[in-house]
Amino acid sequence: QVPLKPGRSLMDWIRLTKSGKDLTGLKGRLIEVTEDELAKHNKKEDCWICIRGFVYNVTPYMEYHPGGEDELMKAAGTDGTDLFDQVHRWVNYESMLKGCLVGRMAFKPIAAPKVQFLLFTFSLLSSVVGLLYPFCCSKTSFILIVFSKLLALGLPLENRVNNVFVCYDWFQTDGLITIVIYTKQKDMNAELVIADCQDKRLRGEIILDDHSYLLEVDLEHAVQEDFAVNIAEKVGKVEIILKKRDNIHWKVLGQPLESHNTFIRRVDRGLFYRKCKLVSKAEVTHDTKLFCLMLPKNTHLQVPIGQHVYLKQVIAGTEVVKPYTPLLPFLPLDFKELSCHDGAHIYLMIKIYSCGLFTQALDHLQIGDYISVSNPEGNFKKSQVQTSEELFLLAAGTGFTPMVKLLNFALTEVSCLRTVKLIFFNKKEDDVLWRNQLEQLALKDERFEVQFVLSEPTKNWVGKQGKISLSLLSECVKRSRKDSKVLICICGPTPFTEQGVEYLKDLGYSQEEMHAFIA
Ligand code: FAD
Ligand code: NAD
């Protein structure tokens, strides 16, 4: 992120896009852009970028780009899709850059993987046929016979990636429709299954490492609002059980939607949102609130530790998206209390900035209002903690949010952990989130220690002062034994996280011993 000039905030950009000014220089005309044409527009004062086949004139946007002009220029005159996906694929550029749309890339036939695979299979078969051909009636019929056999086996060939093969089936009884997805993965669990069924539209996504399998159909008939998702973890079988609304026989499951029965990289799958109801909003500090959102009835979604979701709101006619990290409603001191964590609610602790575009709009939501919530994202892996003996959590401000579930998991489920230390950086005493709960937890569990560091303390503050620094980290982050397995997690404003990682490297910690939470 770079500091933007005054008058160049997202709200200013939204205003400019609504002003009716010609932002493309084409007076609203949309054109077809060839690669050669795109390449010509590669200067700051004349910069076109292609994202997913659509070309945008980003010159008017340069000064408004939170990542800075240089970042945008990296894709000048080229296809910036990969770069965009690496940095912030969640940003709703279609809506934000609507006014900058120049047109579509001129069509250039590209062999889709499926087609390539079929061509490859055909050519392979053709070679086999070449050998066996003398024994067959005709080359074509031989190929057709082999293909029909493959199809009869019901093998959707494209759903095999890295030797992982996913397929589905469905059956019905008088009252139920059961859809079964077979992943054959041993370590399947509830966090890897995201299912939504609203208005006859069923979407079931299974996360398998960095790939995603999707089942997406417009159901043949209506269903009731209480589906069930069952997971046979050891064999990787997932069942989605729908209750028929009317007791009739279904001839088909429904109409397949565009991405139905596909198994692709997660980064290539668009973000899916569902509308969640705001059920409560409670003050945590003078500027931070705990929002409780209720998932719709037919939704199965569990946000894994260390992952975030995106919230989407329409602000001044433009869709705006921001990431937030779900946490628990409180720090459980007695772990039985967690039964209130029923899976139907998502809790978010959000700091309301006085001039924040998104958080101001969020703060104006009334109980009962709806907001769109995406599927989870993030690259933190629980296994990083499971093998650790000492865990250090460096959090600044709302960078505390990913630490909550992590702390709970570490103290309840990781038996090899000897110590967990939270070093919590804030400006002032009254900015500290859940101070009381943290202190109580430290009293209750001797493995846990918390240290508060204030950058703008009052005279009465007797604790640690300052910002993140080498000397502070060398003092607070120490291995208790030479060969201890250590994990250090860090989250906060980008400069805090970046500086922290550098200091930790200087102190001799390896990349594997650190996890930085970033977007
Ligand atoms: P903007 O309109 O973008 O900014 C307005 C002003 O507010 C800025 O000029 C600045 O003064 C101040 N400001 C805005 N953003 C920041 C910032 N990030 N750091 C410091 N000052 C800022 N926030 C939470 O409150 N809770 C979370 O759980 C949470 N999780 C996040 C997870 C990830 C992966 C990331 C990347 C960010 C997370 N954030 C979280 C930050 C959140 O996404 C927004 O950036 C934040 O809510 C501000 O949005 P805004 O539109 O209100 O502010
Ligand atoms: P804040 O402005 O109140 O600052 C809290 C503390 O952070 C300060 O006291 C200081 O110690 C440190 N800090 C702030 N700016 C710094 C800088 N430039 N250099 C070094 N240290 C600095 O914090 P906030 O308003 O609560 O912001 C929290 C940040 O955490 C936001 O930027 C948010 O985007 C980020 N966040 C990220 C994630 C994630 O997963 N990536 C999750 C939650 C929050």
> Is 232 part of any domain?
yes
Question: Which are the contacts of 453, defined by CB distance < 8 A and separation ≥ 6?
Answer: 423, 424, 425, 426, 463, 464, 465, 466, 467, 472
What is the distance between the alpha carbons of residues 423 and 490, in angstroms, rounded to a whole number? 10
- Structural contact between residues 74 and 109, judged by C-beta atoms closer than 8 angstroms: no
Collapsing DSSP to helix, strand or coil, 97 comes out as coil
CB 91, CB 130: distance < 8 Å: no
| pLDDT given at position 334 | 66
Strand partners, 178: 171, 241
Q: Count other Cβ atoms within 10 Å, centred on residue 362.
A: 23
292 and 369 inside one domain: yes
Q: Are residues 222 and 285 in the same domain?
A: no
Torsion of CA 317, 321, 324, 326, to 10 degrees: 80
Task: Determine the pLDDT at residue 119.
Answer: 43
The reply to whether 47 falls in a domain is yes
CATH number for position 18: 3.10.120.10
Mean pLDDT, range 261-274, rounded to an integer: 91
Q: What is the DSSP letter of 158?
A: G
Question: Which residues are paired to 321 by β-bridges?
Answer: 312
Structure confidence at residue 270 (pLDDT): 86
By CB neighbour count within 10 A (0-12 exposed, 13-18 middle, 19+ buried), where does 201 fall?
A: middle
Decide if pLDDT at 462 tops 90: yes
Q: State mean pLDDT over 153-168.
A: 64
Beta carbons of 71 and 62 less than 8 angstroms apart? no
Summarize pLDDT for 387-410 with one digit per residue, the tens: 999 999 999 999 999 999 999 999
The enclosing domain of 454 has a CATH number of 3.40.50.80
Q: Please give all residues whose beta carbon lies within 6 A of any atom in ligand 2, as ranges.
A: 308, 325, 351, 396-399, 401-402, 425-427, 431, 455, 467-468, 491-493, 495-496, 499, 517-519
DSSP conformation class of 225: S
Q: What is the pLDDT of residue 335?
A: 54
For the segment 510-515, the average pLDDT, to the nearest whole number, is 96
Last residue of one domain, picked from the residues 232, 265, 298? 265
pLDDT of 150 higher than 90: no
Q: How many domains in the chain?
A: 4
Looking at the CA of residue 362, tell me the nearest atom of ligand 1: 52
E-strand stretches of 27-131: 31-33, 42-43, 46-51, 54-57, 101-105
- Residue 261 Cβ inside 6 Å of ligand 1? The answer reads no
**For range 43-70, the mean pLDDT:** 92
Give 152's pLDDT tier (boundaries 50, 70, 90).
Answer: very low
Distance 9 CA to ligand 2 centre (A): 19
Q: What pTM was computed for the model?
A: 0.84
Quote the tokens at residue 440. 């109580």
Task: Give the residue, out of 310, 405, 467, with the most ligand 2 atoms within 8 A of its beta carbon, to mutate for a pocket test.
Answer: 467
Under 8 Å CB-to-CB from 227, ≥6 apart: which residues? 195, 197, 240, 241, 242, 243, 298, 300
Of all protein residues, whose CA lies closest to atom 30 belonging to ligand 1? 324
Q: Looking at this protein, which amino acid is placed at residue 305?
A: I
372, 451: one domain = no
Higher pLDDT, 308 or 163: 308
Question: Are residues 195 and 76 both part of a single domain?
Answer: no
Residue 141 CB contacts under 8 Å (≥ 6 apart), including other chains: none
Q: Are 417 and 339 in a shared domain?
A: no
Kindly report the protein residue whose alpha carbon is nearest to atom 24 of ligand 2: 397
Q: What is the structure's pLDDT at 388? A: 94
| CA atoms within 13 Å, Cβ hemisphere of 448 | 24
Q: Which residue's CA is the nearest one to ligand 2's atom 34? A: 493
Question: Does 405 lie in the same domain as 500?
Answer: yes
Tell me which of 322, 357, 377 is where a domain ends: 377
**Higher-confidence residue: 419 or 125?**
419
User: 148-162, 191-205, 236-250, 429-443 — which is least confidently predicted?
Assistant: 148-162
Query: Per-residue confidence at 27, pLDDT binned at 50, 70, 90?
Result: confident
* Pair (353, 476) in one structural domain: no
The CATH number of whichever domain residue 204 belongs to comes to 2.60.40.790
Q: What is the CATH number of the domain that holds 354?
A: 2.40.30.10
Q: Which residue has the higher pLDDT, 57 or 335?
A: 57
Average pLDDT of every residue of the chain: 88
Asked whether residue 340 is domain-assigned, the answer is yes
pLDDT at 436 over 80: yes
pLDDT tens column, 233-261: 888 999 999 999 999 999 999 999 999 99
Flag whether pLDDT at 121 surpasses 70. Answer: no
Residue 449, H or E segment? strand 448-454
Please report the pLDDT score of residue 52 as a whole number.
87
**Whether residues 343 and 425 fall in one domain:** no
| Domain housing 305 | 273-377
Sorted by sequence, the CB contacts under 8 Å of residue 504 that are 6+ apart come out as 473, 477, 488, 490, 513, 514
| Domain boundary, last residue among 212, 242, 265 | 265
Q: How confident is the model at residue 85 (pLDDT cuts 50, 70, 90)?
A: confident
For residue 237, give the amino acid letter. K
User: Among 119-133, 196-210, 232-246, 343-357, which stretch is predicted with the lowest mean pLDDT?
Assistant: 119-133
Residue 189 lies in a domain: yes
Q: Is residue 135 part of a domain?
A: no
Element (H, E) at 473: helix 470-476
pLDDT of 115 reads 44
Q: Say yes or no: 295 and 228 in one domain.
A: no
Q: Which of 105-114, 124-133, 477-486 has the highest mean pLDDT?
A: 477-486
Q: What pLDDT score was predicted for residue 421?
A: 97
d(CA 272, ligand 1 centre) in Å: 22
Question: What does the pLDDT read at residue 338?
Answer: 53
Ligand 2 atom with the smallest distance to the CA of 518 is: 41
Min mean pLDDT across 99-103, 113-117, 342-346 is at: 113-117
What does the chain come to in residues? 519
pLDDT classification of 86: cutoffs 50, 70, 90: confident
Ligand 1 and 359: CB distance under 6 A: yes
